[in-house]
Amino acid sequence: MTAAVDFSHVSRQFGSGAAAVRAVDDVSLTIAEGEFFAMLGPSGSGKTTCLRLISGFESPNDGTIRIFGQDMGSVPPNRRHVNTVFQDYALFPHMTVRDNVAYGLMVRGVDRRTRMARAEEMLGLVHLPEFGGRKPGQLSGGQRQRVALARALVNEPRVLLLDEPLGALDLKLREAMQDELKSLQKRLGITFVFVTHDQGEALSMADRVAVFSKGKIVQTGSPAEVYERPATRFVADFVGSSNVLDPAQSARLGGPARWTSLRPEAIRLAGEGTPGTVTTLRYLGAGTRVSVALAAGEDLGVLLPAGAPVPAPGDPVRLTWERSAMHAMEGEA
C-alpha cells in the first residue's frame, strides 16, 4: 500500500548565508492511509512548516515529498488532493457560511444547485445545519472552527491537514472537539495530519505521534510508546514533563547508569524509601504536583492523585517507585 504522505530527506531553509534557519532539517516520515497522525512540538520546532510543505505553501530545498506515491515537486497547492483547516480558520468574511463551505466546489465549476446541496450536507456533518445564511463574523469561535472543517472537507480531500485547529477554543469546547474530530476521522476514513503543541491533545487523538524539536523528528510512535518510552530527554520532558535523570543521578537512585526518565505519576509517597523535602506544591484539580528536593540534590516531581494526603512545603517525605518505571533513553539531546 502506498503511503498517504511520504517525506524523504526533506529540508526547508529560510533566509540565506549566516542568517539561514533550517526550519525543517532532513526529515523523513511516512504517514499511512487512514491514519490520524499528530505532529507535536514546541513553537519553532518545524511542525507547521512540515504541514505547509504537504499543503504546498512551502517548497522543500532538498528531498522529495510524495502524496499517494505522486511526487509533489511541481504541483501547486490548488492541484493537490489535500485540504487545510487553518489555525485562524481563514474564513472569507464577505461570504455567507454556505458560500464559504461551497467555495472549493465553486472554483471547480460545480453548478450552484449541487454545491449548495453539498454545502448543506457538510454543515449537517459538523452540526451547524441552521447556520448557512450567516456571515462568519456572526459565529462563535467554536462554530467558525466547524465551518472551517466543513469547508476543508467539501472537496473530499485524501489528506486533511489541521494546523492547531483547537488552539483558540476554551477547554470544554476543545475536549468536545477532540472527540468529534476523532470520530469524524474514523467515519470518513480520511488521513488526518494534525499539528499541535499540546501533548495532551496529540496523545488523546492520534494513532501515531511525531515529536519535533529544532526542525528534526526526535521520535515517532504510538502515543503510549512516546509517553512511556521517550527516546530522548527532550521527549521525556516535553511529553508529560517527566523527571529526567542524568546517568550519575539515575545510578544513585537505583536505575541504570544512563539518561533515564521517571514519570511523576509513577512515584508514591511512602513510609520508607528515598528521603527528601517538599519544596513547592501545584494544585491541578485532578491531582497535586509536588516538587521534592532529595538529600542528594536532585529535584523530583511527584504527581499525587486527588484524595491522597498532601504534605505541606518543608515536610520531610520518603519516595518510592518501581525500578521498571525508570526508563533508560537512547539519546542525550
Q: Work out whether the CA dihedral 102, 103, 105, 110 comes out positive or negative.
A: positive
Among 103, 194, 238, 321, binds another protein (CB under 8 A): 103
Closest separation in Å from C-beta 30 to another protein: 23
Q: What's the rounded Cα separation, in Å, for the pair 161 and 163?
A: 7
Choose between 83 and 232: whose C-beta lies nearer to another protein. 83
Taking CB under 8 A as the rule, does residue 323 contact another protein? no
Choose between 88 and 299: whose C-beta lies nearer to another protein. 88
Q: What's the rounded Cα separation, in Å, for the pair 153 and 125?
A: 10
Taking CB under 8 A as the rule, does residue 167 contact another protein? no
> Which residue, 262, 271, 265, 261, is CA-closest to 289?
265
Taking CB under 8 A as the rule, does residue 107 contact another protein? yes
Q: Work out whether the CA dihedral 137, 139, 141, 146 comes out positive or negative.
A: negative
Taking CB under 8 A as the rule, does residue 250 contact another protein? no
Among 8, 11, 13, 155, binds another protein (CB under 8 A): 155
Closest separation in Å from C-beta 144 to another protein: 13
113 alpha carbon, distance to own chain's centre: 38
Taking CB under 8 A as the rule, does residue 93 contact another protein? yes
Taking CB under 8 A as the rule, does residue 87 contact another protein? yes
Helix axes 97-106, 112-125, angle to 10 degrees: 120
> Which residue, 61, 72, 66, 80, is CA-closest to 31?
66
Among 92, 127, 279, 313, binds another protein (CB under 8 A): 92
Residue ranges in contact with another protein by CB under 8 A = 55-57, 76-79, 82-84, 86-88, 90-94, 103-104, 106-108, 151-152, 155
